[in-house]
Chains A and B, each alone.
Chain A
Amino acid sequence: MKKTTFPAFLSTAIVCYIFWLLLTGQIVAIFNGNAAPEVLIAGGLVSVLVALFSARFFIHRSAFYLFNPVKLLALLFYCIFIFGWELLKANWDVAWRALRPGKLKINPGIVKVPTELKSEYGLSMLANSITLTPGTITMDIADQDEKTWLYIHWLHVDCTEPEQAGDSIKGTLEKWIRRIWK
């Protein structure tokens, strides 16, 4: 079990407190100038307590990485525009395959794809993005021959070459995630 460091604790507590403000609706009250102080104090206590116990599961190094505004803007741009467009295309593709009359036009299989990313957060973000686009599901991550490999279940397999399949599944996504997480 890893130990809790102070920056990790502080950033987890800040994120918990922002989440508390959003969920209780106090963030609107602060802007209107009629916030209830007892709710704010209780939220502070609870988020400090939660961060004390759970910070070591979330953050292992460089706790304030995302407080850098350039990275945060790049993350927002990626989430809204790049990923949204990929999501729309893939959704339309799978919906058309399911709704078209006659025989289903699918060819399911599991392919193996190399990736260049190194950090934990980048890998998990790439895997989650691939799973979230319909038509592909990440099944496992493995280290082999000094490279990181993703095993992906694909609804309609075009080609089984690792490099080529990787390009057509995660080409744009990986290029943008490398700008955020390295």
Chain B
Amino acid sequence: MRIAIDILIGISIFFALAGTVGMLRMPDTFSRMQSSTNIGTMGVLGVIIGGIMYAIWQYGDYSMAVKIGILGVFYIVTNPISGHALAKGAYRHGYRPEQGFACDQYGEDLTDAD
């Protein structure tokens, strides 16, 4: 049991580290947004599942486990909303990467509509 919890927390730390390194290394705004999703999904889920198991196994405190579960569901539900809103807002505001996109079918349709 103890080893399973340690492995889950270790997975979480590994993916959060990958997201952090990605956010420091990626060249433009939208790619950095992809790396921040990495922190918000697997970096959260490992700690949440491990925390639920630890709260039940060590303390026998079910209300604490339920509260951690609510936190996890809240992160999973709200993370894509803020990511989508920020990506659309940044694109509409006129931020583009310096080296350009490989293909940009959104920009073509936007200029057609205007």
Contact = CB atoms under 8 A, between A and B. Distances in A.
CB atoms of A and B under 8 A apart anywhere in the complex?
A: yes
- Size bracket, chain A contacts: 35 or more
Contacts of B76: 132
10 contacts: A104-B27, A110-B101, A110-B105, A131-B83, A132-B76, A137-B83, A137-B84, A137-B87, A139-B87, A157-B102
Interface string A105-133: 01111111000000000000001100111
A139 B83 contact: no
Contacts of A140: 88, 106
Contacts, number: 121
A94 interface: yes
Contacts of B105: 110-112, 151, 160
Interface of B: 14-15, 18-19, 21-22, 25-28, 30-31, 33-35, 37-38, 41-42, 62-63, 66-67, 70, 76, 79-81, 83-84, 87-88, 91, 97, 101-107, 109
A interface SS class:
mixed
Contact of A132 (B37, B88, B101, B103): B37
A131 B84 CA distance: 7
A131 B38 CA distance: 11
